[in-house]
Structure 1
């Protein structure tokens, strides 16, 4: 009888980790680690004949530290091609495979890796949900059969913690370096979320904590704007999309250019903070300009008031309110039929207005300062010649007195 490492008889398909022993003088054995979550011993070894035929006898024994030999009988199976042992406890097992004058021997360690579940502790604050977990990894040992000393089973694998939320796999990951592992879920959500900790230890075994359900105090302030652009007066609706908030305060600011000169927050606001549950909130911008809005959402669900700001100036593009001077007609037909007989500019919210019309030679044909007036198509009491004319219109906004608007373009005078 002899040990033939080149023709290893023992395999362990269900093992999570395999390594070799480090004996003093004896040839090293395979060592298999099994993930034993219920702590009953689940080791499983399989031996097979080298030639793949039946008719072989398999004799299993277990090493006895007291006799320093394989004196503990385990199992005998005759006239087989393979033999499998299940539900094995920790220890070193040997199999002798015999057929006629042929005989092979192999041996391997079984170590069952049992552990308690990782612990979880939930701490809530305005930042989010803090899940803390602790876990003490096992340090498995085998016996050096030469010296009888216990030897630690070493592994270069990291111990990895996963935080799972609502059964989502691999939500957050952390490498264990000893002590407590801490996770932060910084997302605001309504209702409860369920968390668990999944630990993969150095031997590849998975241990999962009990589920823990919790709310969050975290607040997310958010809203959408419709429309983003338009002509004054422009009614804009702000749809509140905040999460986990109860109270809301809206701040509607003046045009960017005016805020630069503001000496206080109040000076930069068009209106004082609006506290309302109205959704959507509507506001009409009377004057042209570029505007931003801030929403402060808050909640008193926890021991402290949690709040968050959403500033539309930094989080998105500004609300652009154009002057209605863009509504300059490109055609007018002064023929006395009562339709489109006067060239008028649609304008609103203006402090001053000045329009000049020129013919193609640059000569002024009409000029007016009252935006409600317009040109009837006559020059010195006579009908103007049909063709292309040009306009230059300047205006000052009613509020933005330092901001001047200038529109230049052409239009067609058609007489039918």
Structure 2
């Protein structure tokens, strides 16, 4: 009972007065792969604001010398409920994937002998609401412009995705499950004819929004940027 009381008391003190009064020995941070495929870092000074799904590897990063009886906990809170974590991980380093829209706080707890608690400044993560738009045409002619039929740039927080291309006779031509990928205008390794095809997309956003998109897809290999006539 005494141990629980001390933990709660220290937590309340940390909330109202900050963490300066504790002997802290860690410099926690997180790493993730950004939209360009490069590993990026976030910490209490530099959080994340962007799209889901977002997988972050959180690292306690303790100093070289600390009491062997120390253990660590990662507490993840919704911004709207800052005093009750919806998830606690009992490990020094942990990985978590954010799949819901909203703002979150990730706090590292340093616990010694079950009594002493250091609560580090929170790492903030903001996940946007979902957006998804499919184009009505593309030109797979090898000019490097609009060669792949895929979701328009700027799609956000799509956590489930499935798209199928059909020809005018209802035959399935291509299927993919990543909004960053798409159809190159071929079927079984051969180029299909120019003309109208159809796409059927079912997707779900981090905010729970469901997308069901059906539309024509115009395949226009003869179209290039240079073919546009300007007055």
TM-score bracket for the superposition, by shorter chain length: 0.3 to 0.5
Larger helix percent = 2
TM-score (norm 1): 0.25
User: Larger RCO: Structure 1 or Structure 2 (Cα < 8 Å, ≥ 6 residues apart)?
Assistant: 2
Larger radius of gyration between Structure 1 and Structure 2: 1
Instruction: Give TM-score, length-normalised by structure 2.
Output: 0.40
Higher strand share: 1
